[in-house]
Every structure is written in C-alpha cells, then in structure tokens.
Amino acid sequence: MRWTSAALCVSSVLTAAVEPAAATEPADYSLAGSTSAGSQIARVEGGAGVPRFNENAGTLGHDVSGHQGDVDWPAAWNGGARFVYIKATEGTGYTSPNFPQQYNGSYDAGLLRGAYHFARPDVSTGAAQAGYFLDHGGGWTPDGRTLPGALDAEYNPYGDACYGLSPAALSDWLRDFSDAYRARTGRFPVIYTSTSWWNRCTGGNSGFGANNPLWVARYNDTLGALPAGWTVQTIWQYADSGNLPGDQNLFNGTMDQVRAFAAR
C-alpha cells in the first residue's frame, strides 16, 4: 500500500480524547532534520564502523531519515537490504519531507518497510505523539509488506538526556504512546533504544519486554546485554554506517520470519 495523507483512516473518538501537554513556549524542532534512530546514541555512546557481517546471523536491513535525502532503492536492494525503517515524525511538530519517496520507493523496490517516530517526551503526551505519528505515515496494515511502527526512544538532542522526566514519568509516557498506538492498529509498537539509555532513563523498567518488540542499538560485533525486560531482540542496529544508506540492521531471523513479523 502506498502512503498518502488522504489514505489514512483516523479514529476521531481517540483523537478527540488526546490532550497535549501544556507548553510555555514553542517546541524546538531545529535539529529534527538530522535526528534519526541512533544519532544521539552515537553521539553519547560512540559510533563504530561496520563489523563483520555473518549472512547466517539474520536478515540484512537498514534505517533512513531525512538526513539521507532521496534514496536509490534499487541500489539498496541490490546491496542486500530486505527491510527498512524510515523516520516519519518527531514530537507533534515535524514530519520528514523525504518520507513519501523513502516509504513508497522502498516498497516499490521490494523491501518490507515500516515507519518510526522520534520520541519527544518534553513537548507533548505519548498519546498525542502516537496520534501524530499515525496521522503522518506511521500506520500498519496486515499486507505482509508493512512493519509495525517503531518508537525511537533515546538521548534528548535538545537538553537533559531523559527529557527532564523521572524514570517513572518517562515509563508512563512510553506506555501512553504504546497503548495509543495499539488501540488504533492492533499492534504494539516496536521500541528502539540502547541498553544504557533505557536502564538509565526508565530506571531499568522491565514492563515492556513482554509485548513490545525490541530494536536495540549497539555498534559492535557482539550484541551485549539487552535492556531490562527483554530476553531477545527482534532487530539489532549494529553499525551507524555501512554499505547501505543510513544505519545497518539485522533482523533476528530469516526472511520468512521478517514477513511473518510484518503480517501478524
């Protein structure tokens, strides 16, 4: 299914119930064109080159944002990519101008693709941001080609690493987003994060692993410890650069398992 703004089905009841958090000044989105899945993890924890890729370790994919601009999708397919996550939104005030080309182009080239949202717990509620994400390309359909939406939870590029929230408050914000996304799609969103950020900013909350698939960032040739609550990762972002545009990822399974994950 191709994405257009007119193609989205919006739940007016849920949308009407969303009350954004009060703000005393306009939210800062000055970095939104360059923030992406892992941009702040690489900044804080350090990036790395491409480790050796074991073709038997999983299914190769990548993730992109407006930072990559328009992508040559046939070249990405020929380079081995079989799935991709694409930044759609940030907070409740930014949509990526490159999202339509990236989302539709990857689909046309044969990749399974999904959208992700860069979390901004400092500007509005989790439910408000889930609604904004869904209204701007973050939906899911059981067509076997669309991955469930992902929530990018990482270091704040604009200030305090944990967005000025306590572990309990940040955990509540993440739950608010997850519940709102599931209410409209029937799927729990994937959570993208790093072990260090998660354990620091949620206080090692173990309550998400049972339902939310994990997309974990660790730029190394070994996976290392997972965030509290998860015993297995669905996707591993193992390098912040490589042969494919954007970050390099491995799905923890075969291509048939990627298709099953998209369709369930």
- The alpha helices in 18-58, defined as continuous H runs, are 39-45
Q: Is 52 exposed, middle or buried (0-12, 13-18, 19+ CB in 10 A)?
A: exposed
User: Which one-letter DSSP state was computed for residue 234?
Assistant: S
Residue 87's H or E segment, with its range, is strand 83-90
Q: How far apart are CA 117 and CA 234, in angstroms?
A: 18
Smallest Cα–Cα separation from 47: which of 226, 248, 251?
248
CB contact at 8 A, 83 and 53: no
Tokens for 35, please give them: 């923030």
- Say which of 63, 135, 176, 247 is annotated catalytic: 63
Q: Is 143 a catalytic residue?
A: no
- Say which of 154, 176, 240, 247 is annotated catalytic: 154
Instruction: Report CA dihedral (116, 37, 97, 125) to the nearest 10 degrees.
Output: 60
Instruction: Report CA dihedral (73, 74, 78, 82) to the nearest 10 degrees.
Output: 50
Q: Is 154 a catalytic residue?
A: yes
Instruction: Indicate the pairing of strand 247-251 with strand 235-239.
Output: antiparallel
Q: How far apart are CA 172 and CA 126, in angstroms?
A: 8
Instruction: Report CA dihedral (98, 104, 110, 113) to the nearest 10 degrees.
Output: 70
Q: Is 160 a catalytic residue?
A: no
CB contact at 8 A, 88 and 117: yes
- Say which of 45, 90, 135, 152 is annotated catalytic: 152
Active site (catalytic) residues:
63, 152, 154
